[in-house]
Amino acid sequence: MDTVLTKKLLTLKEACDWASSFLGRNISESNISYLMQYGKIKKYGENGGTQINVFDLKNYYQSFSGKREIEWKKSLAMI
């Protein structure tokens, strides 16, 4: 495996810790597993060695948060 790619990969536990820190709230392994199961983020590894690319995770949460903020602002403008 490419060493550059390896440096970007996190274990499930590391991904939870990273996401919790990034979002300022608790993100569980179940939350991250859900994202992988439904194709929101790509899963790397096999045979129990699941890893997540930190950039995929960051992009998902940034787009999710940004979309919610825009929708919220639109709904305020309609009131």
Q: Domain for residue 2, yes or no? A: no
Q: Domain for residue 3, yes or no? A: no
To the nearest 10°, report the CA torsion of 64, 66, 72, 73. -170
Q: How far apart are CA 47 and CA 67, in angstroms?
A: 35
Q: Domain for residue 33, yes or no? A: yes
Residue with tokens 């597993």: 33
Q: How high is the pLDDT of residue 54?
A: 95
Residue with tokens 């129990």: 48
Q: Domain for residue 1, yes or no? A: no
Residue range of the domain that includes 57: 8-78
Number of domains in the chain: 1
- Residue ranges in the chain modelled with pLDDT below 70: 1-7, 46, 65-70, 72-74, 77-79
Q: How far apart are CA 27 and CA 7, in angstroms?
A: 22
Q: Domain for residue 44, yes or no? A: yes
Q: Domain for residue 47, yes or no? A: yes
Q: How high is the pLDDT of residue 17?
A: 96
